[in-house]
A and B are shown apart, each in its own frame.
Chain A
Amino acid sequence: EAGVTQSPTHLIKTRGQQATLRCSPISGHTSVYWYQQALGLGLQFLLWYDEGEERNRGNFPPRFSGRQFPNYSSELNVNALELEDSALYLCASTRDRGQGEQYFGPGTRLTVT
């Protein structure tokens, strides 16, 4: 069974640009979660999607947004990039809506210069 996959592995952008990160959940999983892991700040919850709908978001500004497609894959968009958006962005999936063990992908390392 393939795990959670994310692309790209690395992304380098300049301040003010937009970044798009992609995630494919484990086959059969319908919920996708996005987390930000910034240096010194630990893992912080960003967004949760299930069945194509945004179900919850963490304490992040609206320039962090995303969507979930009919095949349950998901996209995270970050607009008007700031230097402090530089982080590892991790995607996780669960089989059941909002519960059960979360399996993580390898992450996308976003660097904003």
Chain B
Amino acid sequence: GEDVEQSLFLSVREGDSSVINCTYTDSSSTYLYWYKQEPGAGLQLLTYIFSNMDMKQDQRLTVLLNKKDKHLSLRIADTQTGDSAIYFCAESIEGSQGNLIFGKGTKLSVKP
């Protein structure tokens, strides 16, 4: 079955690194995504990783993928108050009919 799990909350201090974790169950995932949602807004695509990669870096963001454990993480370096938001992990499945499977989101709170 298809399931994406995330912890619901994470609190960090400004300037620290944040690590948001996600696990998925379907081994035929093709792409895995991280989206950010600020209050009252839509989803902003932050980054994505193809399932045959194990790491991707994009400025302050680092995505790590462990296919064996079906574990995905998003590291935000030098976390700022503007990073406070809900972060969603999502997967697309090979042969699926287009839709993404989302986790329930991790609410990141950044304390000054």
Partner of B100, one of A31, A45, A106: A45
Interface string of A60-92 (1 = CB under 8 A from B): 000000000000000000000000000000101
Q: What residue in chain B is nearest A34 (Cβ atoms)? A: B99
Please tell me if A56 contacts chain B, counting CB pairs below 8 Å: yes
Interface residues of B (CB under 8 A from A): 30-31, 33, 35, 40-45, 48, 88, 90, 92, 96-105
Q: B31 contacts which chain A residues (CB < 8 A)? A: 100-101
Q: How many A-B residue pairs have CB under 8 A?
A: 58
Indicate if the CB atoms of B97 and A107 lie closer than 8 Å. Answer: no
The DSSP consensus for interface residues of chain A is strand
Known interface pairs A99-B92, A104-B35; A90-B43 also in contact (CB < 8 Å): yes
Q: What residue in chain A is nearest B43 (Cβ atoms)? A: A104
Q: B41 contacts which chain A residues (CB < 8 A)? A: 106-107
Indicate if the CB atoms of A102 and B45 lie closer than 8 Å. Answer: yes
Interface string of A91-109 (1 = CB under 8 A from B): 0101001111111111101
Known interface pairs A98-B98, A104-B43, A106-B41; A42-B92 also in contact (CB < 8 Å): no
